[in-house]
Amino acid sequence: MKGFLSGGLKDNKYLEKGVLTGILRVSKESIFSDLNNIAVCSMLSNISADKFGFTDHEVQDLVEYFGSSIGISEIKRNYNGYNFNEIDIYNPWSILNAIHYQKIDYYWGNTASSNLIKTMCAEADDSVKHDIEIMIEGGRIKKFIEENIVFSELKDNKTALWSFFLMCGYLRYDNYIMDGVIRPTNAELSIPNQEIKNLFIMKILPNWFSSTQKTDELINLANHLATGDIEIFKKEFIQYCMETFSYYDVSGDNPEKFYHGFVLGMLICLKDKYQIRSNRESGHGRYDVLLIPLDKSARGIIFEFKKLNEARGETFEKAFSLAKRQLIEQNYETELKAQGVEDIVSIIAIFKGKEVVLNTI
Contacts of 230 (CB under 8 A, 6+ apart): 224, 345, 347, 360
Residue 136, pLDDT above cutoff 60: yes
Local confidence band at 5 (pLDDT 50, 70, 90 cut-offs): confident
What is the DSSP code string of 52-114?
Answer: SSB-HHHHHHHHHHHT--S-HHHHHHHH--EEETTEEEB-HHHHHHHHHHTS----GGGSS--
Alpha carbon distances (Å) from 79 to 67, 89, 157, 169, 193: 18, 9, 29, 11, 6
pLDDT for residue 97: 93
Residue 193, pLDDT above cutoff 90: yes
pLDDT for residue 216: 74
Which three-class secondary structure string do you get for 267-285?
HHHHCCCEEEEECCEECCE
pLDDT for residue 10: 80
Residue 11, pLDDT above cutoff 60: yes
Residue 139, pLDDT above cutoff 80: yes
Q: Rg of the chain's alpha carbons, rounded to an integer?
A: 23
Residue 282 and residue 333: Cα distance in Å, rounded?
7
Write down the domain spans for the chain.
115-190, 213-360
Among candidate residues 283, 305, 302, the one with its CA nearest the CA of residue 293: 302
Local confidence band at 303 (pLDDT 50, 70, 90 cut-offs): very high
Position with higher pLDDT, 268 vs 91: 91
Contacts of 171 (CB under 8 A, 6+ apart): 135, 162, 165, 189, 190, 191, 192, 196
Phi, psi of 165 (to 5 degrees): -55, -45
- The most confident of the ranges 55-59, 119-123, 351-355, 357-361 is 55-59
Q: Stretch 55-62: mean pLDDT, rounded?
A: 94
pLDDT for residue 66: 92
Q: Which amino acid, 301? A: I
Local confidence band at 4 (pLDDT 50, 70, 90 cut-offs): confident
Angle between helices 92-101 and 56-66 (to 10 degrees): 20
The torsion angle over the Cα atoms of residues 332, 334, 339 and 341, rounded to 10 degrees, is 70
Local confidence band at 158 (pLDDT 50, 70, 90 cut-offs): low
Share of the chain above pLDDT 70, in %: 82
Position with higher pLDDT, 47 vs 56: 56
The torsion angle over the Cα atoms of residues 288, 271, 196 and 95, rounded to 10 degrees, is -110
Local confidence band at 213 (pLDDT 50, 70, 90 cut-offs): very low
Residue 168, pLDDT above cutoff 80: yes
pLDDT for residue 126: 67
Tens digits of per-residue pLDDT, 100-133?
Answer: 999 888 888 766 556 667 667 766 666 787 788 7
Residue 225 and residue 214: Cα distance in Å, rounded?
18
pLDDT for residue 32: 54
pLDDT for residue 212: 45
Residue 164, pLDDT above cutoff 80: yes
Q: Stretch 346-360: mean pLDDT, rounded?
A: 88
Instruction: Judge if pTM exceeds 0.75.
Output: no
Residue 260, pLDDT above cutoff 50: yes
Q: Stretch 335-354: mean pLDDT, rounded?
A: 90
Tens digits of per-residue pLDDT, 230-240?
Answer: 999 999 988 88
pLDDT for residue 92: 93
Give kind and range of the element (H or E) at residue 123.
helix 115-123
Among candidate residues 174, 177, 188, the one with its CA nearest the CA of residue 86: 174
Residue 276 and residue 259: Cα distance in Å, rounded?
16
Local confidence band at 56 (pLDDT 50, 70, 90 cut-offs): very high
Look at 62-66, 205-209, 294-298, 302-306 and tell me which has the smallest mean pLDDT. Answer: 205-209
Look at 58-67, 233-242, 276-285, 297-306 and tell me which has the smallest mean pLDDT. Answer: 276-285
pLDDT for residue 26: 62
Among candidate residues 352, 347, 299, the one with its CA nearest the CA of residue 323: 347
Q: Stretch 297-308: mean pLDDT, rounded?
A: 91
Q: Stretch 84-98: mean pLDDT, rounded?
A: 91
Among candidate residues 128, 130, 160, 131, the one with its CA nearest the CA of residue 146: 160
Among candidate residues 246, 252, 43, the one with its CA nearest the CA of residue 139: 252
